[in-house]
Structure 1
Amino acid sequence: MTSHPARQPRDADALVVDDDSAAVEELIECLAKAGLSCLSAGNGGQALQLLAEGHRVKVVVSDLRMPEVAGLEFAGRLAKLAEGSRPEVIFVSGHAGFDDAVEAIRLGARDLLTKPVDGPRLVRAVKAALLVRQARERAAPVAETVTGGPLDRKRTALKDMRSMRKMRSQHFPTELFSDPCWEMLLDLYDARLAGAEVTVTSLGVASGVPLTTALRRMDQLTEHGLIERVSDAGDKRRTIVRLSQEGLDAVERFFDTYLNRKAN
């Protein structure tokens, strides 16, 4: 399938990426009925070309299984874009496995929907991602003023810890470091810095342990007053999990101590 952008670069709420033209038309129809503007592309390579040509989109809805540049590789390339031009990502798939879900969330995907996609759920997911994007845009001027400051250094330290986690998994059996509590706190802190929301399900999947284990650890973190769970105002079936004020203060103190020791 070929892409169908306007000749001149333009803005759109969503970019739908799938090599199945019928699926693209169906998804765009659902989003258009909800008043959302859309572009389309047949694979990740075409989508990246649209962005390179100057088309700006706020949310990407992408299939996982595509020729040339597949969904996860596509998301990895999007993650390298500058903060102001990087869209939120929602994946759709009929064959997503656990490993796919974990990797998608690690790459910053907002959601992973299964095919056939439920139209109302797709619209809710895209609108929720648009709200996250708006919050990120409002926070951008503040972030620019603290480049090189405490917040910027904490983001760098967090990135270093994530890199260490990946390197550790390459040399040691994963089960030796399977307790997810610390990883959850880091993921929630990362979301806090980005102005993003995290659902209980996505946090559990990203933890890399069975969901039942992840839920037990969330209960423990809640009992210690480090996290809190609230209903999603836009979708009562979803539960948002975030650092409590006590949890945020604790993580902030950790990074302050870590950075002070690293500087000395």
Structure 2
Amino acid sequence: MSEEASEAPRVLLVDDDPDILVELSEGLASLGIISRTADTAVKALDLVHRHEELQVIVTDLQMPRIDGIELLQKLSMRKRARPLAAIVITGHASLDRAVGALRLKAVDFLQKPLLPEEVAHAIQRALALLADEESEIAEEDGPTRTTVTTARPNYLRALVAARADRDAIFQAGLFSDPAWDMLLDLAMAEATGRPISVTSLCIASGAPTTTALRRIEDLKDAGLLDRIPDPQDRRRVLVLLTEEGRKRMEAFVQRQASRLGINID
């Protein structure tokens, strides 16, 4: 057994379908990624509690009793030395519910049916993101610098949370144009170092896929965003703010923060 394979598993797979768990765990093992598995959210919570070395959770959204959304909510409330990065799995019938997972800081989502290779790519991206975050924390030299460094993503998170509150308080559908939601999600993704794909952006917008794709084209034509192939997975297309889009979002964030007396420099 290789040294890598002998390490404690850092990945937890959660799905109520045992066949999917077996197929996926065996497929990942053949790619050098050893995982733990749980067929219920309750078992997943227990495993996370007992195994501090776990870093990434790959969970289905639709499960009995405690579903994937509630599982991520419960995990987000637990204080761990090393927070988990979440990857959510969904079928076409539950795409609308993936929006909630993205709001809970899921780093990626995948649609069934799944190939072990695409799950492995998502896990590698999640681990790389966690490593980058740990490096940034290690480089901090005091509480003052930490406050400045985290102010911008925290403010953007507040804007995302405000959008969710707006949708909960007001009648659904009153704010139907997804363009602003997309720009906000892209700004948040860049601030936290999280790549976002075309598919993820469409889902996060909360609009029908055809509408979201049209708005992506509109924003691209306006010079505010661009699409590029994912260098780690050529089947995946990433969406990025252009320099002009970044400049305008920066101007908006700065103006709103100054009105509230918040320093995000």
Supply the distance in 1 between the matched residues of 2:18 and 2:228 (Cα, whole angstroms). 38
Supply the distance in 1 between the matched residues of 2:33 and 2:45 (Cα, whole angstroms). 21
Q: Match of 1:245?
A: 243
How many residues are matched?
Answer: 253
Using the TM superposition, name which of 32-41 and 166-175 deviates more.
166-175
1:147 is paired with a residue of what secondary structure?
Answer: helix
Letter in 1 for 2:146: T
Q: Match of 1:223?
A: 221
Is this contact kept in 2: 1:84–1:137, CA < 8 A? no
Is this contact kept in 2: 1:14–1:37, CA < 8 A? yes
- The answer to whether the aligner puts 1:49 opposite 2:46 as a matched pair is yes
1:176 is paired with a residue of what secondary structure?
Answer: coil
Go from structure 1 to structure 2 and tell me whether the alpha carbon gap of 1:20 and 1:213 turns closer, same or farther (over 3 Å shift): closer
Supply the distance in 2 between the matched residues of 1:180 and 1:64 (Cα, whole angstroms). 23
Supply the distance in 1 between the matched residues of 2:79 and 2:191 (Cα, whole angstroms). 16
Which deviations, in whole Å up to 9, do the C-alpha atoms of 1:146-173 show, x marking residues without a partner? Answer: 3322x43323322332232222212322
Supply the distance in 2 between the matched residues of 1:127 and 1:210 (Cα, whole angstroms). 29
Supply the distance in 1 between the matched residues of 2:175 and 2:100 (Cα, whole angstroms). 18
- The answer to whether the aligner puts 1:37 opposite 2:55 as a matched pair is no
Go from structure 1 to structure 2 and tell me whether the alpha carbon gap of 1:156 and 1:46 turns closer, same or farther (over 3 Å shift): same
Using the TM superposition, name which of 171-180 and 188-197 deviates more.
171-180
- The answer to whether the aligner puts 1:133 opposite 2:138 as a matched pair is no
Letter in 1 for 2:234: K
1:198 is paired with a residue of what secondary structure?
Answer: coil
Q: Match of 1:147?
A: 146
Is this contact kept in 1: 2:14–2:21, CA < 8 A? yes
Go from structure 1 to structure 2 and tell me whether the alpha carbon gap of 1:236 and 1:85 turns closer, same or farther (over 3 Å shift): same
- Deviation, 1:202, is 0.8
2:62 is paired with a residue of what secondary structure?
Answer: coil
Structure 2: gaps of 5 or more residues: 1-6
Is this contact kept in 1: 2:92–2:111, CA < 8 A? no
- Deviation, 1:233, is 1.3
Match of 2:82 among 75, 81, 85: 85
- Deviation, 1:43, is 1.9
Q: Match of 2:4?
A: none
Letter in 2 for 1:91: V
- Deviation, 1:144, is 7.6
- The answer to whether the aligner puts 1:26 opposite 2:23 as a matched pair is yes
- Deviation, 1:85, is 1.9
Go from structure 1 to structure 2 and tell me whether the alpha carbon gap of 1:139 and 1:222 turns closer, same or farther (over 3 Å shift): farther
Amino-acid identity (%) = 34
Supply the distance in 1 between the matched residues of 2:194 and 2:101 (Cα, whole angstroms). 16
Is this contact kept in 1: 2:59–2:86, CA < 8 A? yes
**TM-score, with structure 2 as normaliser:** 0.83
Go from structure 1 to structure 2 and tell me whether the alpha carbon gap of 1:111 and 1:242 turns closer, same or farther (over 3 Å shift): same
Which deviations, in whole Å up to 9, do the C-alpha atoms of 1:200-242 show, x marking residues without a partner? Answer: 1110111011222212222222223222211011222211001
1:225 is paired with a residue of what secondary structure?
Answer: coil
Letter in 2 for 1:121: E
- Deviation, 1:95, is 6.6
2:165 is paired with a residue of what secondary structure?
Answer: helix
1:12 is paired with a residue of what secondary structure?
Answer: coil
Is this contact kept in 1: 2:61–2:98, CA < 8 A? no
Letter in 1 for 2:157: K
- The answer to whether the aligner puts 1:118 opposite 2:112 as a matched pair is no
2:66 is paired with a residue of what secondary structure?
Answer: coil
Supply the distance in 2 between the matched residues of 1:121 and 1:181 (Cα, whole angstroms). 28
Go from structure 1 to structure 2 and tell me whether the alpha carbon gap of 1:198 and 1:11 turns closer, same or farther (over 3 Å shift): same
Go from structure 1 to structure 2 and tell me whether the alpha carbon gap of 1:20 and 1:252 turns closer, same or farther (over 3 Å shift): same
Supply the distance in 1 between the matched residues of 2:35 and 2:55 (Cα, whole angstroms). 10
Structural mapping, 1:148-167, within 5 Å: 148-149=147-148, 151-167=149-165
Is this contact kept in 1: 2:18–2:39, CA < 8 A? yes
Using the TM superposition, name which of 204-213 and 40-49 deviates more.
40-49
Is this contact kept in 1: 2:178–2:215, CA < 8 A? yes
